[in-house]
Structure 1
């Protein structure tokens, strides 16, 4: 079904709601950093009796979002983001609040449909919501009762928070349950990522946090750029980056406050990479426009690429005197070549070698490639993790090497499990975004 969207009246209602929201008070939830006063605060005024002025803000497949729902969500956004409401950003709060409410209604509608079709319970129960609120209170070093009271003191009803938690928790559980069990990260994908990491080991690496505004979600690239600029202005005035990322970012890192960890050249969009090259640790980027949205990057730290690579090696060897005859060398070569064809990598090298007479296998440990014997160095430079060398002749005998891992000197190597976990999260996030895009496309959404 073609979606119908009516956008007239949003700007006017944003100004009307500014007065009601201005009395929200200082945020009591995300207090990692106290924001500086905004340059121009919205004029304080007593909140209008919402029950008398409540009307329809949007209709999502016949499900009504009222102006009361919208005002409540805006209050919650202000409290949890640490951003002070001003005449300049009140429309952004309204836009984000309305988008979130529409998405959540679509999610709950889809989950209810799935519950009915599959006869299973998906949507979070009241007990689960209360448990989650208890955890939120604990993380804020308070009790659930005081936590709820702090919300009410800012004009936020507890049901507003519960509805947000209900949609987020239930949707994440559904996505992970429906797609997570089917999603498989192949060994070839892990190896390809290892190769990319090894190739970028000598390049600069950046520890970053990110906010990503999805242009498709917020209503176009121009809106995303404007919104990013407003968020930057608020963070420069003291709004905590982590809180802003949790509420506004469409990236998978939003749940961790935007923390993307250490990244290297080749892992990021070229536009982001170019911006990072010009930044210093502690700096906040300007809006960075990419193909499908806009990034705001906070560069936490930067380190130079390593000048050396470290490898972890195992070997299987046949002892040969330095003056061994061609026949002896040929027999040893045939033995190791046969063994090489049976071995899949470091995991089974020693076990397979133990069953072959005259072959001794062992773990050579970790070393910088430049420190290896010349005969081993060439193989270690060219082989990727999991690969085995051809037989190598030394004064002590004939060897085959297996590269177990390779990393940059001075940098912590990512394990196979860590790489698999990162790829899994990225793919699951992409699936969830496509799912939501399909729901929005097929829905009838009218904003008034």
Structure 2
């Protein structure tokens, strides 16, 4: 979310937090009420202290305006978290510690990292392990809430990826962040203009007269067309409910019934070991050189997906807040 980026921008200016208990401005009081639930100044200062306790250097005075700005940003984040938690509880949306552990282990495995190496990589990106786990949990809940409430999956088209590459190829890096989405569950995806065409393609694929990959390359107007409909690694649980239901109704390796999505028809297939994705390996990129389109495509897709996802999520949160009773007193 936009506030998170601001947090670390402000933190870059901070060295350590000095907050004498006797300072008048730090006397505990209610600073926000969200649907009758209270957030106190003590709660905010505790969160701020957690964020800056790893920093070192010149002390920040309690009356420094940067500290007030940081408190306000933290408070806004806490209000948003409270709205998310309330809506998640209402819809019974949860993400267990076991799920988070599993996602972290998958990231470590795919990046060939030990636990200590993983923690070190997080530190390079300004995160502690606890912050990363909290971020993963919030991101997972965000995705599930969007799936439940918006009923559609954010899509990034090949044209959008190509356009971004042409405009930004001079500034793209071949390096990948360890925080990138590295999850299991290969997904095949075909999008066509109408349900009738989708049903005809499904019949051809099921009869063996055409492969899923060939159908995607020839007819799909959605993402992954050039890769035979391969969307790469996608968690099935993160799909919108209509897509998830269609996919769960057929065995892995078989094509789903057509699903209407944004006025178009979608066919899905969950990849299996006997039906690998037809995706060529990206060419190696020499150190210091700009990556090729194929080498940068996945990175750009993840970036554009996140941008669209964050925008849609923010709109959803704004809608939640408009319906909530929120009073800010800071």
TM-score by length of 1: 0.33
Task: Give the TM-score, by structure 2 length.
Answer: 0.43
| Structure holding more strand per residue | 1
